[in-house]
Structure 1
Amino acid sequence: MGITTREVRYTADGLTMVGHLALPAGVDRRPAVLVGPEGTGLSDVERRRADALAGLGYVALAFDLHGGRYLADPDEMLARCLPLLADPDRMRDIGHAALAVLRAEPRSDPDRIAAIGYGTGGAIGLELGRDGVDLRAIGTVNAVTTGRPGEAARIRCPVWAGVGSDDPIMPPAQREAFTAEMQAAGVDWRLVVYGGALHAFHHPAVDHATLPGVGHHPRHAQRAWRDVVDLLTECVPVAG
Structure 2
Amino acid sequence: MAGYSESRARVRIWQSQGENNMAMIDHPVPYEYGGKQYEGRIVYDDSVSGKRPAIYMQPDWLGVCSHTVEMAVDAGQSDYVVLLVDMYGKDYGGMKKTNEELGRVARGNRANIEFILGCGAAAGESLTAEAEKMGLIDTSKIGAVGYCMGGGYLTEQIRDGAPYKGSVFIHVTLPMTVAPNRPSDISGRVLTIHGTDDVVTPVPQVDAFQAEMTANGVDWQTMMFGGAPHGFCVRDANDQLQRFDQKLCDQTYRLMRDFFDETL
The amino acid that maps onto 2:200 is I
The amino acid that maps onto 2:92 is R
Which residue number in structure 2 is paired with residue 146 of structure 1?
A: 176
Is the Cα–Cα contact under 8 Å of residues 198 and 213 in structure 1 kept in the other structure?
A: yes
Counterparts in 2 of 1:228 and 1:113: CA distance versus 1, 3 Å: same
CA distances 1:123-172 after superposition (whole Å, capped 9, x unpaired)? 22222211112111100112160223375641111001111111111112
Q: CA deviation at 1:28?
A: 3.5
Query: How many pairs were matched up?
Result: 233
User: Is the partner of 1:139 in helix, strand or coil?
Assistant: strand
Is the Cα–Cα contact under 8 Å of residues 9 and 18 in structure 1 kept in the other structure?
A: yes
Higher relative contact order (CA 8 A, sep 6+): 1
Question: Is residue 36 from structure 1 mapped to residue 58 from structure 2 by the alignment?
Answer: yes
Q: CA deviation at 1:54?
A: 4.7
Counterparts in 2 of 1:214 and 1:152: CA distance versus 1, 3 Å: farther
User: Is the partner of 2:92 in helix, strand or coil?
Assistant: coil
The amino acid that maps onto 1:18 is E
Query: In angstroms, what is the RMSD of aligned CA positions?
Result: 2.3
TM-score between both structures, scaled by the size of structure 1: 0.86
Question: Is residue 135 from structure 1 mapped to residue 164 from structure 2 by the alignment?
Answer: yes
Which residue number in structure 2 is paired with residue 227 of structure 1?
A: 255
Which residue number in structure 2 is paired with residue 162 of structure 1?
A: 193
Give unpaired runs (5+ residues) of structure 1: none
TM-score between both structures, scaled by the size of structure 2: 0.79
Alignment of 1:1-240 (within 5 A): 2-12=23-33, 14-24=35-45, 25=47, 28-67=50-89, 68-70=91-93, 72-104=97-129, 105-106=131-132, 107-143=136-172, 145-147=175-177, 148-149=179-180, 153-206=184-237, 212-236=240-264
Most deviating of 141-150 and 88-97: 141-150
Counterpart CA distance in 2 for 1:5 and 1:225 is 20
Is the Cα–Cα contact under 8 Å of residues 55 and 76 in structure 2 kept in the other structure?
A: no
User: Is the partner of 2:168 in helix, strand or coil?
Assistant: strand
Q: CA deviation at 1:218?
A: 2.1
Counterpart CA distance in 2 for 1:53 and 1:200 is 15
Give unpaired runs (5+ residues) of structure 2: 1-21
Most deviating of 195-204 and 102-111: 102-111
Is the Cα–Cα contact under 8 Å of residues 32 and 102 in structure 1 kept in the other structure?
A: no
Counterparts in 2 of 1:200 and 1:12: CA distance versus 1, 3 Å: farther
Counterparts in 2 of 1:228 and 1:46: CA distance versus 1, 3 Å: farther
Counterparts in 2 of 1:232 and 1:7: CA distance versus 1, 3 Å: same
Percent identity, please: 26
Counterparts in 2 of 1:20 and 1:195: CA distance versus 1, 3 Å: same
